[in-house]
Amino acid sequence: MRSNRKTAIGSAILLLLLIASLLYPLYGPADYDKKVMIINEAGKVIGSAPFPPSSEHIFGTDRNGQDMLLLLLYGAKFTLITAIVVAFLRVIIGGLVGVFISLWAPWLKKYVNDFFTVFRFVPSTFLGIILMLPVMFHEERQISTVVVYQILMVVLIGIPSVIVFTEELTEELLNKSFITTSLLMGASKFHIIKRHLLPFFRSYGILFTVQQLLTTLQITMHLGIFGFFLGGPTEGGIVGFDEPPKSASLSNEWAGLIGQNLYDFIRAPWTISTTIVLFFLVIQVVNMIKKELEEKMAGLPQLTRMPKLVQTSTRTVGNPGPDQFIFVNEKKSLGS
């Protein structure tokens, strides 16, 4: 039995971050320690936001004088929850469609793929922008509707690839001899799914979800750069020298934080770099989980990216280790 150590540690880290972020209202100040100017005893202004990282503000502050660390802590929950929800929805919807197509309507496969050609050719960031256009500008709207709409769109962008992956996986499994035998003996398709496919889907589903988690994080980051924030923009925005003020992310989720501080990069690089580094760490953690899951899958039928290709000729004829030998007389004694 292989251990799940890395997966456990990785999930624990993400969970801790999520809990810390969810509990933020209990311990954190609502204005994120807002401090626009520092005034000395004589009443003179000796500094104004953005402040660089110091012992007081470990990650520095942004141009509004808000502490980056607190902002990041507050925003983490939105980033993580959205990514997880989107990844799950993508896998569940895409998986169901994929299984249905490959079991009940294989002839439909190429037509479905044709219908989704646009996702294979147009960069997903551009598609995301097109799809998010209606909720980009600040108008009076129910925030929940905006969020539901955005999540639906991000889910949609990932679904075609999940469908294709599921189809490939199911077809590969259907060709396995134990399933063809089962079919020949008269098993119904539901039986095949329940008995033979579901155990595989359980493990592959987790792997797919983790992969989709990565792509979701990626696309929210890109959309944030273009100013398409999850949860929509705020009225006030980042105060400063631009007129009208640049709109800010309402939810302070991480991609939005990158997007709203984009033009401060030269003057105050810490406003961006802290967020990016945290993003990087989260992605590394997710990647670590993914790698371990993939290694565990090595025993199961591998999902190859190019199904029609030459098989790999790996010849591993291992010799049985010395501990695997049992002498005949010992075997007898075991049996009796």
Q: How far is the CB of 115 from other proteins (least distance, A)?
A: 4
Q: How far is the CB of 135 from other proteins (least distance, A)?
A: 6
Distance CA 260, CA 63 (A): 10
Inter-CA distances, 72 with 17, 22, 27, 234, 330, Å: 10, 12, 14, 17, 64
Which residues between 120 and 179 bind other proteins (CB under 8 A)? 121-127, 129-131, 133-135, 141-142, 145-146, 148-149, 152-153, 156
Quote the DSSP letter at residue 57. S
User: By the 8 A CB rule, do 179 and 132 touch?
Assistant: no
Minimum CB distance to other proteins smaller for 175 or for 181: 175
- Type of residue found at 312: T
Minimum CB distance to other proteins smaller for 64 or for 271: 271
How many C-beta atoms surround the C-beta of residue 149 within 10 A? Answer: 16
Distance CA 89, CA 45 (A): 52
Q: Which residue in the set 225, 301, 302, 304 belongs to the binding site for other proteins (CB under 8 A)?
A: 225
Minimum CB distance to other proteins smaller for 141 or for 195: 141
Distance CA 78, CA 80 (A): 6
Which residues between 234 and 293 bind other proteins (CB under 8 A)? 258, 262, 265-266, 269, 272-273, 276-277, 279-280, 283-284, 287
How many C-beta atoms surround the C-beta of residue 46 within 10 A? Answer: 9
* Site of tokens 């934080």: 257
Distance CA 209, CA 225 (A): 24
Q: How far is the CB of 278 from other proteins (least distance, A)?
A: 11
Interface pattern 83-122 for other proteins (x via CB under 8 A): ---------------------------xx--xxxxxx-xx
Minimum CB distance to other proteins smaller for 179 or for 262: 262
Q: Radius of gyration (Cα) for the chain, nearest Å?
A: 26
SS3 46: strand
Distance CA 121, CA 143 (A): 32
How many C-beta atoms surround the C-beta of residue 58 within 10 A? Answer: 12
Q: How far is the CB of 262 from other proteins (least distance, A)?
A: 7
Q: How far is the CB of 334 from other proteins (least distance, A)?
A: 39
Minimum CB distance to other proteins smaller for 142 or for 177: 142
SS3 313: coil
Minimum CB distance to other proteins smaller for 99 or for 258: 258
User: By the 8 A CB rule, do 149 and 141 touch?
Assistant: no
Minimum CB distance to other proteins smaller for 65 or for 128: 128
User: By the 8 A CB rule, do 32 and 66 touch?
Assistant: yes
Minimum CB distance to other proteins smaller for 29 or for 106: 106
- Type of residue found at 39: I
* Site of tokens 């400063």: 240
Tell me if 312 contacts other proteins by CB under 8 A: yes
Q: How far is the CB of 242 from other proteins (least distance, A)?
A: 14
Which residues between 16 and 45 bind other proteins (CB under 8 A)? none
Q: How far is the CB of 47 from other proteins (least distance, A)?
A: 21
Tell me if 58 contacts other proteins by CB under 8 A: no
Query: Residues interacting with other proteins, by CB under 8 A?
Result: 110-111, 114-119, 121-127, 129-131, 133-135, 141-142, 145-146, 148-149, 152-153, 156, 214, 217-218, 221-222, 225-226, 258, 262, 265-266, 269, 272-273, 276-277, 279-280, 283-284, 287, 306, 308-310, 312-315
